Amino acid sequence: MWFVLGLLFIVFCFWALGLWLRRTEDLATYDQPLDSNGFESFSEPGGPSMEHRQAVSDIQAMAGQIKGLSHKERLKFTRAFMEDMPRGKEFSCEFVPVDVNGVRSEWVIAPGVDTSRRVLYIHGGAFIAGSPNSHRAATARFSEVANAAVLAIDYRLMPENRRIEGIEDCRTAYRWLLENGPVETSAPSHLFMGGDSAGGNLSLMMANWIRDQKLRAPDAVIALSPVADCTYSGPSIRSNLKTDTMLGPLFGILLKIPRWLLTWIYILENRMTPSNPVVSPILDDLSGLPPVLVQVSEAEMLLDDARRYVNKARAAGSPVYLQSWAGLLHVWQLFYPEVPEAREAWDQIDRFLQAVEAGKV
């Protein structure tokens, strides 16, 4: 009897502490309609393109292959799938391996770009997968639209490494980039930063950290479908589960776990609480940021991460903007140039960077 009572007491303590560790400011405050000056929405009358529908079919086929796999097998499959994404694509860029104070990276240099202009790109992959190779479609296009050399970093991934170690790699790379280019040792004339999904999370975190460290700020930040809130409190995490073709099959099972228990799982995996602003950049002070463009699909689970982040940042006076597309995949920009919506998204990034340089943002 006493054993059962003791066990129940321990479970109660873990439940209560798990709920307490999730406590944050009420982000629902930022669910209000966006300031029209900070928001654009894109859609086609006939829905997504045929090319996009083919990409969805490919992702659905991948999702079917991971059913029944163990956690270890799923990790291996996901990494292999992402590394295979550039297969068959032709690039005009030059890819140059470089050691960035111990962080393996590569320069991505489109023909004729000004290498005094630089970009730090942080790839996505749920912090467990991805590499500079897997994201060459994004980094090659970024080099073109920014007229810059892109530094794509191979930051340390979980679970082999702690979350903070990947974060430290991003910080190391940014400091290095302030003094080094692909052919010169000098400060950049223009400096941009970007990332997708997990890399979007790291980019937004970095923007806060750069401000707090009083380092030279990037001229602009591009965040593609970023994770902004690791407490996963946004309504779209659940409401868009069935429409998110990519993230739903991979992470939907986690939504069946009680939130207090999910908190403990997160802490064990990341060795930080989900409410820590280092992993949830939306929970930080969002004032004093450089121009930021966030792109997101209205069909994905991370829609409210993007919407809430932009609303909070704009309320704090930062020049942060949201562009959303109806019915698209999570990080559809990686399907450049085959998918028309990916081409449109990169064209919008191009226009945003031009507006920043013209002083119109």
Examine the residue annotation and report whether 197 is marked as an active-site residue of this protein. yes
pLDDT tens digits for range 122-159: 999 999 999 999 999 999 999 999 999 999 999 999 99
Contact 79, 129 (CB under 8 A): yes
Q: Is 60's pLDDT higher than 90?
A: no
Cα 291 to Cα 192: distance, rounded to the nearest angstrom: 10
Given the residues 106, 144, 298, 300, the one annotated as active site: 300
Q: Does residue 135 carry a catalytic annotation?
A: no
pLDDT in tens, 182-232: 988 899 999 999 999 999 999 999 999 999 999 999 999 999 999 999 999
Residue 24's pLDDT band, with cuts at 50, 70 and 90, is: low
pLDDT reading at 7 higher than 90: no
Q: What gap in Å lies between CA 79 and CA 131, rounded to an integer? A: 9
| Fold classified for 33-357 | Rossmann fold (3.40.50)
- At 11, is the pLDDT very low, low, confident or very high (cuts 50, 70, 90)? very low
Reference 313, options 25, 22, 26, 30; nearest CA is 30
- The reply to whether 300 belongs to the active site is yes
Q: For 224, left (φ over 0), alpha (ψ -120 to 50), or beta?
A: beta
Residues 214, 200, 251, 165, Cα dihedral to 10°: -50
Catalytic choice (135, 330, 341, 344) = 330
Q: Which of 105, 131, 143, 197 is catalytic?
A: 197
Phi, psi angles (nearest 5°) of residue 289? -90, 155
Domain boundaries, the chain: 33-357
**CA separation for the pair 22, 151 (Å, rounded):** 35
Q: DSSP strand E in the chain: where?
A: 39-42, 94-100, 103-109, 117-122, 149-153, 190-196, 220-224, 292-297, 320-325
